[in-house]
Amino acid sequence: MKIKTTRHQVARGAMADAEAFNRMYLIKNVTKLRPTYQIRLLAFRAVDKGMQLVLRVPASCAFDPSLDELMRICGKAMMRENY
C-alpha cells in the first residue's frame, strides 16, 4: 500500500475525535469554524459510508458561509451540536 503525502511529507487523512454507532464526532472549541480539510474529508467519508458527522461546538461559535454551504450539500450526513 502506498501512503499519499503532501509536499512536506505529511500523511493525508483525517480522523474523527470519536465514533459511536453510525456517527462520527468532531469536537472543536472555536469562535468561528470554516470548512477545513479535516472537516471536508470527514464529511465526504460520512456521505460515502452512510454515517453522520456531528460537529460539536460552543453555542457562540459562528459558522463560515462556506461551511453552511457544505452542510447543505451533505444534507443529513452533517449536523451541528452545541455544548
What is the chain's pLDDT, residue by residue, as a tens digit (83 residues)? 666 666 666 667 889 999 999 999 999 999 999 999 999 999 999 999 999 999 999 999 999 999 999 999 999 999 999 99
Return the pLDDT at 13. Answer: 81
Return the pLDDT at 78. Answer: 97
Q: What are phi and psi of 75, to 5 degrees?
A: 65, -130
Return the pLDDT at 3. Answer: 63
Return the pLDDT at 34. Answer: 97
65 sits in which H/E element: helix 65-74
CA distance 64 to 43: 16
CB atoms within 10 A of CB 33: 18
